[in-house]
Amino acid sequence: MTPIHEPLSEEAAARLVMIAGLSATPFSISGGGTRNLLPAADGAEQLSTRGLNGIVAYNPAEMTMTVRAGTPLEKVEAALAENRQMLAFEPVDLRGVLGSSGIPTIGGVFATNASGPRRFVAGAARDSLLGVRFVNGKGEIVKAGGRVMKNVTGLDLAKLLAGSHGSLALLTEVTFRVLPMPETAVTIVVSNLNDAEATAAMATAMALPVEVSGAAHLPESVRGRFVSGALPDGAATVLRLEGLAASVSVRAQKLADAMAGFGAVSQCDAGLTQRLWREIRDATPYADGTSRPLWRVSVAPTAGQQLVAALRLEAGVDAFYDWQGGLVWLRMESDPEAALLRRYIKAVGGGHATLLRARPDVLAATEIFQPQTDAVTAIQTAVKASFDPAGLFRSRMTG
Amino acid sequence: MDQIAFLEPRPAVLSRRREIVADLLDLLPEGCLVHEPRELVPFETDAFVSYRRLPLAVALPETTQQVAAVLKYCHRYGVPVVPRGAGTSLAGGAIPQEDAVVIGLSKMSRILEVDFANRTATVQAGVTNLAISDAVSADGYFYAPDPSSQLACTIGGNIGMNSGGAHCLKYGVTTNNLLGVKLVLIDGTIVDLGGKALDAGGLDLLAVVCGSEGQLGIVTEATVRLIARPEGARPVLFGFDTSEEAGACVADVIGAGIIPVAIEFMDKPAIEICEAFAQAGYPMDVEALLIVEVEGSEAEMDAMLASIIEIAGRHGVKVVKECQSATEAALIWKGRKSAFGATGRIADYICMDGTVPLGQLPHVLRGTAEIVAKYGLRVANVFHAGDGNMHPLILFNANDPEDAARAEAAGNEILKLCVDAGGCLTGEHGVGIEKRDLMRHQYSEVDLVQQMAVRAAFDPQWLLNPSKVFPLEGRPAA
């Protein structure tokens, strides 16, 4: 059993890291333990943020919140909901697909840059992040950014730490921007389009001045596994509109008219819309209790379906698309096919793939994060050393 | 007056000046190197005109490979490099130094690709901000960040400073609209960060390059997001008897969950200056003016405006003026966007750029007035109120050194007030040299050392724009 450290304060965390540095004891950083990407490296001890819990400041009128990193996401979202506010980027909950328990933490959300369907219009987790406090590999307590919307004072270390998967520092506190919840939401469904047609339809929808806030394509193979099969038969291309009720109904009509040329159009009400987009966010059809390899792939929106079409010729794949086609959830039949997948990603113009799930031995043997070019790897290594010169924080992102 | 210091020029570089010029002439095509002293004068400063230094030479490369060749050369011989876009920095970000080669991107001004299906534009770094929107406007798209200098400033400069603008309240600043860059590192290595995908693998190096003020590398190409233009947009003027009422109204609008595209604030001196310049139709009998822009369909704009008007009513709004035509709307924005230029016609000024939490706006406005009065100066306030990004313009007479020193001292006090109110030194203009020596007011030594370590990871010898952002004393030995 690897020792688990749960410091109860930022100072205690800093002391722990400083002392660990003396004996060169490596750590692997975790939040609520909902991801199991990291089989602990040789002798690495677990350093959890769970003891750093609580909302430090919340000012609804300023649309900002400051929270300790180990605070459960649920607690943050509940406090926001009381004021009809939300995290704009719709953080993903991977417990279903990973078959993990644990409680997602706000620090984990930012450390993994876990962004959902609204990402392609409202930005990723990193775009909402205004400031951080963290403990670097030298055991120093550092702050970066602040609590105002616009801030270009010095280097933007907060955004660099977002998505760094615990490779640079231990986040102890995050300050982020929040947004008002939309008054209502509807989904326009276009039925029976193939992947290529759906990609064209989504691009057309995004060119209209109707502010689509979610654009996903659910091929026939997965459609029935969303919202208990409540969507019309055949593949479903789904487009979400949010905002004031009066405006949403006008925009929905406009969007439905524009989509009629692509296929049969129907509409989901607010309740079904909420459920549907939560399930798209969390890739619910792949919460199948298996450990079949699951990839999260990010490419240019028009390239998603090209990638899947190419892969289908060589491997057993099942897929659906979010972010106008640019986010591909890809479940492989047996082998993760990492080399093949990454070769095709390059061929369709570049992007990246992260392996979220597989058998433990496969996870351990596969490069789960996208390999970078030598030149970029060299910068990453130097940046890692600037935070953590002794390499105490082990993460599969930087080795 | 305490002049802002630059690094001492490296004697080893100055003494090799003739050789360096000769070598650079060999590396670059004809007409791409400026080295005659009188021809260097246009490059000696930027929009922060109180400081100027003549550079050693100015390279104006035409390709990424030429940028790489110059950087590789400068790296090998330890020659400092100062990147330059259009030279519109208000913080002195593009001011050179005597031992530096300026790399100007003005010849790299082509739009390389517009991809409507993926809603991206890939452009060379010397393309102006407005040129991107102009190129895609006929197809119903625009590029969102819109600094007031957008006619002149380049996308490369925008990335360097993470520029904002009036419409950032809804659409975000440069970093939120940037998908990828081609970056040349100090040793001449060319790397691609990001691309057309919404996020890239590995560490988010793009995020730290954006806003790094040319200290991590030189961006030669950028891929930016395009946004479908809304059906309609309508600026509305709200006049108040006091700045405090206007400030409180802004906080309440945002607090009520309403996010217009822009909320701009002008106080009486700013209204007078801009109205005299642009005849924008601003009400003249009010002490403070808000320009609130809403967008969307007619129904949506009506609904949002009704809520805003109701809130403004609770704060004693005196005048509400909706514009009746596209021409009127354009005039309203012309007045606002020419605020700096129009102010320049009546006096010299320095422009501050601190950002404060919205609830602190009234407090900081009052404090600003007190500080300026204490120094016997005048101030005009015109700024992005929706996100708390303040721009007090401190008016002074540049021909009077004492007056100039007072203005600089007042500016520093105002910025400290912003930081103490929970804000920051600069919201969108950057640190440059202007705010460099105030960095310790916002950051602790440990915070700064961490930032400098990241900087050194890209440029261990501190050759790129070395006199900027970080206080000169207390730097790690290169």
Minimum Cα–Cα distance from A296: chain B residue? B201
Q: What is the DSSP letter of B409?
A: H
Q: Nearest CA to A159 among B169, B174, B186?
A: B174
Question: What confidence tier does A37 reach under pLDDT thresholds 50, 70, 90?
Answer: low
* 3-state secondary structure at position B69: helix
User: Given this model, what pLDDT does residue B448 score?
Assistant: 98
Residues facing B194 on adjacent strands:
B180
Quick check: A151 and B424 CB within 8 A? Answer: yes
* Beta-strand pair B81-84/B101-104: parallel
Quick check: B456 and A156 CB within 8 A? Answer: no
User: Given this model, what pLDDT does residue A159 score?
Assistant: 97
When the pLDDT of each residue in chain B is averaged and rounded to a whole number, the result is 94
- Asked if A286 reaches chain B (Cβ–Cβ under 8 Å), the answer is no
Task: Tell which wins on pLDDT, A149 or A205.
Answer: A205
Q: Nearest CA to B228 among B140, B301, B307, B310?
A: B140
> Which residue has tokens 């930087």?
A398
Question: Do residues B396 and B350 make contact, with C-beta atoms less than 8 angstroms apart?
Answer: yes
Quick check: A207 and B259 CB within 8 A? Answer: no
Residues from chain A that touch B176, judged by Cβ atoms under 8 A, are: 123, 127
| Average pLDDT of the residues in B164-178 | 92
Minimum Cα–Cα distance from B257: chain A residue? A180
User: Given this model, what pLDDT does residue B125 score?
Assistant: 98
| Stretch 168-187 of chain B: residues touching chain A, C-beta under 8 Å | 168-169, 172-173, 175-176, 185
Q: What percent of chain B has pLDDT over 90?
A: 84
Q: Measured between alpha carbons, how far is A312 from A316 in angstroms, rounded to an integer?
A: 6
CB-closest option in A142, A162, A206 to B119: A206
- pLDDT at position B214 over 50: yes
Minimum Cα–Cα distance from B299: chain A residue? A247
Minimum Cα–Cα distance from B419: chain A residue? A146
| Residue type for position B117 | A
Contacts with B341 (C-beta within 8 Å, 6 or more apart), sequence order: B277
Question: Do residues B180 and B193 make contact, with C-beta atoms less than 8 angstroms apart?
Answer: yes
Residue of B89, B113, B114, B118 to mutate when probing chain A, most A C-beta within 10 A:
B118
When the pLDDT of each residue in chain A is averaged and rounded to a whole number, the result is 95
Q: Measured between alpha carbons, how far is B143 from B227 in angstroms, rounded to an integer?
A: 6
The whole-model pTM stands at 0.96
| Average pLDDT of the residues in A199-213 | 96
| Average pLDDT of the residues in A242-263 | 94
* 3-state secondary structure at position A17: helix
User: Given this model, what pLDDT does residue A39 score?
Assistant: 55
Residues from chain B that touch A385, judged by Cβ atoms under 8 A, are: 457
Complex-level ipTM: 0.96
| Average pLDDT of the residues in B397-408 | 92
- pLDDT at position B1 over 50: no
Task: Tell which wins on pLDDT, A237 or A360.
Answer: A237
Minimum mean pLDDT among A256-260, A349-353, B6-10, B357-361: which range?
Answer: B357-361
* 3-state secondary structure at position A212: strand
Q: Measured between alpha carbons, how far is B396 from A158 in angstroms, rounded to an integer?
A: 37
User: Given this model, what pLDDT does residue B299 score?
Assistant: 81
Question: Do residues A349 and B115 make contact, with C-beta atoms less than 8 angstroms apart?
Answer: no
| Average pLDDT of the residues in B62-66 | 98
| Average pLDDT of the residues in B79-87 | 97
Q: What tokens were used for A215?
A: 């654009």
Q: Measured between alpha carbons, how far is A229 from B140 in angstroms, rounded to an integer?
A: 37
Q: How many other C-beta atoms are found inside a 10 Å radius of the C-beta of residue A360?
A: 10
User: Given this model, what pLDDT does residue B16 score?
Assistant: 97
Minimum Cα–Cα distance from B302: chain A residue? A247
User: Given this model, what pLDDT does residue A36 score?
Assistant: 63
The two most distant CA atoms of chain A are separated, in Å, by 67
> Which residue has tokens 């970066």?
A144
Q: How many other C-beta atoms are found inside a 10 Å radius of the C-beta of residue B142?
A: 18
Q: Nearest CA to A393 among A72, A38, A114, A125?
A: A38
User: Given this model, what pLDDT does residue B251 score?
Assistant: 85
Query: Which stretch of DSSP H or E encloses residue B126?
Result: none
Helix-strand-coil split of chain A, %, nearest 5: 35, 25, 40
Own/partner pairs, B189-192, CB within 8 angstroms, 24+ separation: B189/A375, B189/B68, B190/A375, B190/B64, B190/B65, B190/B68, B191/A373, B191/A375, B191/A376, B191/A379, B191/B217, B192/A373
- pLDDT at position B246 over 90: yes
Burial tier of B422 (Cβ tally within 10 Å: 0-12, 13-18, 19+)? buried
| Stretch 428-457 of chain B: residues touching chain A, C-beta under 8 Å | 428-431, 435, 439, 442-444, 446-448, 450-451, 453-457
Residue of B115, B116, B177, B203 to mutate when probing chain A, most A C-beta within 10 A:
B203
* 3-state secondary structure at position B384: strand
Q: How many other C-beta atoms are found inside a 10 Å radius of the C-beta of residue B474?
A: 11
Burial tier of B199 (Cβ tally within 10 Å: 0-12, 13-18, 19+)? buried
Question: What confidence tier does A38 reach under pLDDT thresholds 50, 70, 90?
Answer: low
Question: Do residues B217 and B236 make contact, with C-beta atoms less than 8 angstroms apart?
Answer: no
Minimum Cα–Cα distance from A145: chain B residue? B424
User: Given this model, what pLDDT does residue B166 score?
Assistant: 84
Q: What is the DSSP letter of B414?
A: H
Quick check: B355 and A151 CB within 8 A? Answer: yes
Question: What is the CA angle A152-A154-A156, rounded to 5?
Answer: 70
Question: What confidence tier does A92 reach under pLDDT thresholds 50, 70, 90?
Answer: very high
| Cβ–Cβ pairs < 8 A, chains A and B | 274
A283-313 per-position pLDDT tens digit: 999 999 999 999 999 999 999 999 999 999 9
A107-164 per-position pLDDT tens digit: 999 999 999 999 999 999 999 999 999 999 999 999 999 999 899 999 999 999 999 9
Q: For helices B361-374 and B401-420, what crossing angle results, to 10°?
A: 160
Residue of B191, B428, B454 to mutate when probing chain A, most A C-beta within 10 A:
B454
CB-closest option in B118, B193, B207 to A160: B207
User: Given this model, what pLDDT does residue A287 score?
Assistant: 97
- pLDDT at position A42 over 80: no
A171-196 per-position pLDDT tens digit: 999 999 999 999 999 999 999 999 99
- pLDDT at position A244 over 90: no
A308-365 per-position pLDDT tens digit: 999 999 999 999 999 999 999 999 999 999 999 999 999 999 999 999 999 999 998 9
What does each C-alpha distance from B66 to B104, B160, B190, B220 come to in angstroms?
Answer: 12, 20, 11, 10
User: Given this model, what pLDDT does residue B323 score?
Assistant: 84
Query: Could you tell me where the DSSP H helices lie in B421-465?
Result: 439-442, 445-458
| Average pLDDT of the residues in B243-262 | 88
User: Given this model, what pLDDT does residue A43 score?
Assistant: 73
- pLDDT at position A40 over 80: no
Question: Do residues A298 and A124 make contact, with C-beta atoms less than 8 angstroms apart?
Answer: no
Quick check: A155 and B172 CB within 8 A? Answer: no
Query: Which stretch of DSSP H or E encloses residue A144?
Result: strand A141-145
- pLDDT at position B170 over 80: yes
Question: What confidence tier does A378 reach under pLDDT thresholds 50, 70, 90?
Answer: very high
Q: How many other C-beta atoms are found inside a 10 Å radius of the C-beta of residue B81?
A: 25
